[in-house]
Amino acid sequence: MKKVLVLGATGAMGRYLIPELVNLDYEVVGVGREETAPWKVNAAYIQSDAFDKNFLNGLLKENFDGIINFMEYGKVDFSEYYQLFLEHTSHYIYLSTCRVYDDKEQPIKETSPRLLDSSEDEVLKASHDYCIYKAQDEDLLVNSSYDNWTVVRPATTFSTMRLQLVTLEFNNSVARALQGKTIVLPIQAKDKPATLSWGGDVAKMIARILFKEEAKREFYNVCSAEHRTWGEIAEYYRDLVGLEAVWVDKEDYLAILSPEGTINVRWQLEYARLFRRITDNSKVLALTGLKQEDMMPMYDGLKLEIGNIPKDYVPEDTKIGLRMDEYIKNHIL
């Protein structure tokens, strides 16, 4: 029985990946910061900080056959970690993102241009934005002498209590709908196609990439090929939770999200959600034997996860939500 370590195991994909790995007869250890594991399968769980090198050094002495890493290295230097992982396993899977891609090629393939390489925005390229540091982390693996790694690039992935709409997360979209409140969205995004994938499907792909020799030193878009415009997705939410949206200019929307004008908030909108995101997943399907028809339809997946909202969940106002209320009061009503 092969032994697999999953770091960041309680997140949107990890919560579904652990049961997939167990079903494939692997011995699984998950590490996360939650007090309890969100799965009910026979897998070990360790509550700890996976950025702690002393903890990692001790843990990796257990000689895991595979390591799947969902950790985000935006605030720490991945160069201080990646060799540690590569030296202690036969197959290391690193979670990157489809946000590394620019908007020059459709559909997006694994060979499509990355913003780090193609963007003319020198400020963005010199930054530590998500789309930049993920690409830089990829390059560390590519330029290493190791051959036992695989990079996976998910598109926007929805899961339990993680339901997105343009750049809004659950607390400022679905939660507001549950309160009967209207949300504000940027009109420039309404007709932009987006790929949203259910976390369970992404988990199936990653679990079936693991330990495949032909997957090493390769990149895979781990996502559905289904795409819908953000306007269509907003209509899905309207049907499922009664979400009402007003579409405004992006500058008004950005001012609501970040009155101080935080540049990363703008970049997430302009270099991700306003890009056309039509994704080619044929490479991962060919590797894993999965088919697009095996993927959860977007509407059905959103319905499933909305059904997973705890019955006793009570939405709370957020700062962004209060600014939405004020904007709607002053500009819409």
pTM above 0.85, yes or no: yes
pLDDT digits (tens, 9 = 90+) for 124-163: 999 999 999 999 999 999 999 999 999 999 999 999 999 9
Supply the pLDDT for residue 333: 74
Q: What architecture is the 90-332 domain classified under in CATH?
A: 3-Layer(aba) Sandwich (3.40)
Do residues 39 and 14 make contact, with C-beta atoms less than 8 angstroms apart?
no
| Domain coordinates in residue numbering, the chain | 90-332
Please state, in angstroms and as integers, the Cα–Cα distance from residue 39 to each residue in 34, 70, 292, following that order.
Answer: 12, 17, 26
End-to-end Cα distance, the chain: 62
Q: Name residue 123's amino acid.
A: V
Mean pLDDT of 277-283: 98
Q: Count of alpha carbons within 13 Å of 116, Cβ hemisphere only? A: 17
Strands of the sheet with 66-69, listed across from one edge: 44-47, 27-32, 3-7, 66-69, 91-95, 149-153, 218-221
Q: Which residues contact 72 (CB under 8 A, 6 or more apart)?
A: 8
Taking only the tens place, the pLDDT of each residue in 7-62 is 999 999 999 999 999 999 999 999 999 999 988 899 999 999 999 999 999 999 99
Mean pLDDT of the chain: 97
> Whose CA is closest to 203, among 89, 301, 105?
301
